[in-house]
Amino acid sequence: MPSTEDLALQGDDILLFEDESVTARALSQTSVPWRVLVVDDEEDVFMATAFSLRDSEIDGRGLELLQATSARQALELIAHEPNIAVVLLDVVMETPDAGLRLVERIRAMPGREPLRIILRTGQPGYAPELDVIKRYDINDYKTKSELTQGRLMACLTVAVRGYHQLVRLQAHQRGLEKVVSASGTLVTQRHSLQSFAEGVLTQICDISECQPQGVVVLRKRERQPGETQGQVVAAAGVYRDLVGESLNQLPEPVQQCFAQQLGGAVGDIGGFKTVHIRSSGGDELVVLLTAQAPLNDVTRHMLEVFAINISLGLDNVQVFQELEHLAHHDVETGLRNRLGFRRGLSAKGAWFAQVQIDELEDIRGTLGEQVTNQLIAEVGRRLEQGLGEGGRVARINGDRIALAVPGSGGDALRQRVLDLLSQPVAVAGVEVRLPIAIGWSEGAASVTQAVDEAGLVVSRLPTGRQLRCGDWTPALADEVRQRVRLLSDLQDALAEDRIEMFLQPQLRLLDERVMGAEALVRWRRRDGTLVLPAEFIPMAEQTGAIRSLGERVAEKAVLALASWADPVHRISVNVSIRQLEETGFADWLHTLCQRHGVANRRLRLEITESAFAQDHSQVQDTLAALVSHGFELSIDDFGTGHSSLGRLVELRFQELKIDRSLVCAIETDARARKLAAMIVELGRDLGVEVLAEGLETPGQLLQLRDMGCVLGQGWLYGHAMPQADYEFRHGLA
Ligand code: C2E
Ligand code: MG
Ligand code: MG
């Protein structure tokens, strides 16, 4: 309930309230009178005063006279009647200075500072000293005989206006204190939009001293004409269930109020108060309260100050929200990212999956990054919509999407995801069916573990054009443990220099002259036994350990070349695609050769056919840099079907190595023979050497010589052997 004092502040449009109800009825124009207390021990002074002030008005409001006949009674009245504007006080009562003592007591009373005091005395001799008047903030001092009706009114008018002014100032001050403390906490603390809006609603109710009953609507800046009008972010009282609703779902009167709003910060429309808090970005929070009273000037002003102050808080909340959003979402697709996926998610009772879209590299290469991102976003959105409320979808890295779906119905769920993913997707206006691999995991101890398990399943699935899926199994877990152990052993071997370079001779078939050797890596265990590349190269490639491994072999090869007297004998080194993906690789290798005085062309680099066919631009750049440094390239395992012939023509290379699978079949399989012959032919056309690898029998040698194949490597001539054996056998040491 507003106090009578507040009602008094409402000036011309005075309203009074019936208990807590929101309906207000207008009072007659001047019905809140100024209250004047007459303190005098002589009864007839009161009568005379009342008589002379009858029907008087000050600034449109009547006067209500209260009476006290002793200082004590006066004190009681002043303590219990809050809105006394003026005290007409007799100085001499019970004692000659009873009036002055009373003034002292009144001035010590908290909350009564605005009250004005006019001293009256019958005996001029009892006039108080001037400093008493100043000290006790006494408005006026008159002898009773001085106070004719006209002069009394003049004195009262000045005092009443002084009182009114002070009341207004006090209200302002109280309001400002509230605004400062309310906006202080709201602006400085980290809030979600909802808790901020709730705080704003509470503070506005507090400032305007009304029941919390209203809504806070966030209206976004109109980004396109006719866009959504707004959404309730906080609500109280009868409206409390409306949070989350959009504006057009709110009760009719509220909507009408919104429709009528003008541009100001504070409004008073058809039974509602509105306060607009505008962010610098153009969005606004509109607070709408059911009005219990029309706004008085002070409250309006306070709310305006509050709205301006708090807009900084809204900015902060929005920046905070934006940062939150950025931290948890993928910028390119708008889907959640890995962090957003994990946030608040439990592994219990949920199925997890990783989805890999297989041909994204090709699409990226031909149609660009933007189309690729649109496609990932499209697949993600489809999954989000298809899985509904409980599901969660995120882009966790490049081409992988993670899913989490609560529930136990594994088969139905997997079918649902398969159905969603088997629908074609529009890529640059064309409907395509994407090759997709899905790995599932259920029952993991944590979300991270579940996602990792699902990811591992994906990377184990065979490649292909169709939709493929698989589940995490305990056997896979064992395999992972073994791989982890293998990786750690490999790292030990690198640190302890138990990585060796074996050499296998490469000969000119025509005269069987050894031209050089291929470096093949071997890992020697502490017990002296050897581990072959097939056991650790795939794992090293997946984990990136291949980079240090490859560097070690290259260093050994360059050192060997530097130590040999023969200036043309060369070594072919296998280079993994993971090494080619590194920006500084070509320069590093060049520097290595220079440092040991080895001509770059003596180090031939074997690159698998599949690496050559890569779209990856860094791989292409590294290959071009290697060529420009004068390294010779050899295409390994050629004939296994990954090359694009177009690419072959684009890049300079010196050698094609016919894959062992073809060589070993040329005696028995006419197609293999034909294919090998075609490769030899292609080499001749391109002006490059062709080397047959895995040459085991004299029959194969004859065939290859017949075709015109220039070089060969295989057990027919020698196995891969330790460097020292090779050097001894070929007189290089
Ligand atoms: P690759 O580069 O195609 O090497 C040829 C493989 O065939 C070698 O196996 C070699 O020992 C084997 N081989 C040679 N002649 C014959 C033969 O007449 N008959 C048969 N059945 N096999 C023969 P290895 O040494 O086990 O190497 C396997 C693969 O491991 C290599 O295939 C290469 O891809 C990779 N690798 C070996 N060393 C390195 C290395 O230092 N770095 C990288 N990145 N990969 C390496
Ligand atoms: Mg090789
Ligand atoms: Mg090979």
Q: Is the pLDDT of residue 238 over 70?
A: yes
Going from the Cα of 475 to the center of ligand 2, the distance in angstroms, rounded, reads: 32
List, for residues 243-271, the tens digit of each pLDDT value. 888 888 888 888 888 777 667 788 888 78
Q: Is the pLDDT of residue 7 over 60?
A: no
Closest listed ligand to the CA of 533: 1
Q: What is the pLDDT of residue 282?
A: 82
644 band by pLDDT with thresholds 50, 70 and 90: low
Q: Is the pLDDT of residue 371 over 50?
A: yes
Going from the Cα of 662 to the center of ligand 3, the distance in angstroms, rounded, reads: 11
Give the C-alpha separation, 225 to 563, whole Å.
77
List, for residues 131-168, the tens digit of each pLDDT value. 667 777 787 777 777 777 788 888 899 999 999 888 88
Question: Closest ligand 1 atom, CA of 713?
Answer: 15
Closest listed ligand to the CA of 575: 1
Find, among 489, 525, 558, 540, the residue nearest to 723 by Cα. 558
Which residue is closest in CA terms to ligand 1's atom 46?
Answer: 574
Q: What is the pLDDT of residue 719?
A: 97
Residues around the ion ligand 3 (C-beta < 5 A): 636-637
Find, among 99, 81, 100, the residue nearest to 90 by Cα. 99
224 band by pLDDT with thresholds 50, 70 and 90: low
Please give the average per-residue pLDDT across 480-507, as a whole number.
Answer: 93
Q: Which amino acid is at 71?
A: A
Pick 3 or 393 by higher pLDDT. Answer: 393
Q: Is the pLDDT of residue 15 over 70?
A: no
Give the C-alpha separation, 338 to 254, whole Å.
41
Closest listed ligand to the CA of 659: 3
Question: Closest ligand 1 atom, CA of 546?
Answer: 44
CATH 3.40.50.2300 domain locations along the chain: 4-172
Going from the Cα of 77 to the center of ligand 1, the distance in angstroms, rounded, reads: 108
Helix (H, G, I), strand (E, B) or coil at 437: strand
Q: Is the pLDDT of residue 450 over 50?
A: yes
Which residue is closest in CA terms to ligand 1's atom 12?
Answer: 694
Please give the average per-residue pLDDT across 528-547, as a whole number.
Answer: 92
Which residue is closest in CA terms to ligand 1's atom 26?
Answer: 533
Query: Among 506, 535, 558, 574, which residue has the most ligand 1 atoms within 8 Å of its CB, making it the best to mutate?
Result: 574
The DSSP 8-state label assigned to residue 247 in this structure reads G
- The upper half-sphere exposure of residue 432, i.e. CA atoms within 13 Å in the direction of its Cβ, equals 17
Q: What is the pLDDT of residue 603?
A: 97
Strand partners, 636: 608
480 band by pLDDT with thresholds 50, 70 and 90: confident
pTM here is 0.52
212 band by pLDDT with thresholds 50, 70 and 90: confident
The residue whose two tokens read 């609560």 is: 406
Give the C-alpha separation, 394 to 377, whole Å.
10
Closest listed ligand to the CA of 520: 1
Least confident interval from 498-507, 554-563, 638-647:
638-647
Give the C-alpha separation, 563 to 480, whole Å.
41
Q: What is the pLDDT of residue 600?
A: 97
List, for residues 295-346, the tens digit of each pLDDT value. 788 788 888 888 888 888 888 887 877 888 888 899 889 999 998 899 888 8
Q: What is the DSSP string of 4-46?
A: HHHHHHTTTS-EEE-TT-S-EEEPPTT-SPEEEEEE-SSHHHH
**Do residues 84 and 106 make contact, with C-beta atoms less than 8 angstroms apart?**
no
Question: Closest ligand 1 atom, CA of 579?
Answer: 44
Helix (H, G, I), strand (E, B) or coil at 656: strand
- The upper half-sphere exposure of residue 97, i.e. CA atoms within 13 Å in the direction of its Cβ, equals 8
662 band by pLDDT with thresholds 50, 70 and 90: very high
Q: Regarding the domain delimited by 188-328, which CATH topology (the fold level of the hierarchy) does it fall under?
A: Beta-Lactamase (3.30.450)
Which residue is closest in CA terms to ligand 1's atom 29?
Answer: 533
Q: Is the pLDDT of residue 651 over 70?
A: yes
Sign of CA dihedral 241, 247, 252, 255: positive
Q: Is the pLDDT of residue 37 over 60?
A: yes
Going from the Cα of 519 to the center of ligand 1, the distance in angstroms, rounded, reads: 9
Q: What is the DSSP string of 382-432?
A: HHHHHH-TT-EEEEEETTEEEEEEESS-HHHHHHHHHHHHHS-EEETTEEE
Percent of the chain scoring above 70 in pLDDT: 90
Residues with CB under 6 A from ligand 1: 504, 519-521, 532-534, 537, 546, 550, 553, 574, 576, 606, 636-637, 660, 693-696, 713-715, 720
- Mean pLDDT highest for which of 269-283, 426-440, 659-673? 659-673
**Do residues 253 and 270 make contact, with C-beta atoms less than 8 angstroms apart?**
yes
Please give the average per-residue pLDDT across 612-640, as a whole number.
Answer: 88
Please give the average per-residue pLDDT across 368-386, as a whole number.
Answer: 91
| 224, 245, 280, 394 from 228: Cα distances, Å | 9, 12, 20, 27
Q: What is the pLDDT of residue 477?
A: 85
Q: Is the pLDDT of residue 356 over 90?
A: yes
The values of phi and psi at residue 288, to 5°, are -130, 120
Q: Is the pLDDT of residue 24 over 50?
A: no
Q: What is the pLDDT of residue 488?
A: 93
**Do residues 501 and 556 make contact, with C-beta atoms less than 8 angstroms apart?**
yes
Please give the average per-residue pLDDT across 484-510, as a whole number.
Answer: 95
Please give the average per-residue pLDDT across 563-584, as a whole number.
Answer: 94
CATH C-level class of 4-172: alpha beta
- Hey, what are 248's tokens? 């057009």
CATH superfamily of 492-729: EAL domain (3.20.20.450)
Which residue is closest in CA terms to ligand 1's atom 42?
Answer: 574
Q: What is the DSSP string of 277-334?
A: EE-TTS-EEEEEEE-SSPPPHHHHHHHHHHHHHHHHHHHHHHHHHHHHHHHHB-TTT-
Taking the chain, what is the end-to-end CA distance rounded to the nearest angstrom?
Answer: 106
Q: Is the pLDDT of residue 460 over 70?
A: yes
Going from the Cα of 457 to the center of ligand 2, the distance in angstroms, rounded, reads: 29
Q: Regarding the domain delimited by 338-472, which CATH topology (the fold level of the hierarchy) does it fall under?
A: Alpha-Beta Plaits (3.30.70)
Please give the average per-residue pLDDT across 367-374, as a whole number.
Answer: 88
Q: What is the pLDDT of residue 23?
A: 26
Q: What is the pLDDT of residue 501?
A: 98
The DSSP 8-state label assigned to residue 21 in this structure reads -
Which residue is closest in CA terms to ligand 1's atom 4?
Answer: 520
Residues around the ion ligand 2 (C-beta < 5 A): 574, 606, 636
- Hey, what are 250's tokens? 């709110």
The residue whose two tokens read 């290379």 is: 653
Q: Is the pLDDT of residue 643 over 60?
A: no
Please give the average per-residue pLDDT across 407-434, as a whole number.
Answer: 83
Q: What is the DSSP string of 47-104?
A: HHHHHHHTT-EETTEEEEEEEESSHHHHHHHHHH-TTEEEEEEES-SSSTTHHHHHHH
Helix (H, G, I), strand (E, B) or coil at 26: strand
Average pLDDT over the chain, rounded to an integer: 85
673 band by pLDDT with thresholds 50, 70 and 90: very high
CATH 3.30.450 domain locations along the chain: 188-328
CATH 3.30.70.270 domain locations along the chain: 338-472
Give the C-alpha separation, 206 to 543, whole Å.
61
Helix (H, G, I), strand (E, B) or coil at 388: coil
Query: Among 494, 520, 553, 691, which residue has the most ligand 1 atoms within 8 Å of its CB, making it the best to mutate?
Result: 520
Residues with Cβ within 8 Å of 591's Cβ and at least 6 positions away in sequence, in order, are none
Pick 193 or 680 by higher pLDDT. Answer: 680
- Hey, what are 58's tokens? 């000050």
Give the C-alpha separation, 121 to 91, whole Å.
5
CATH 3.20.20.450 domain locations along the chain: 492-729
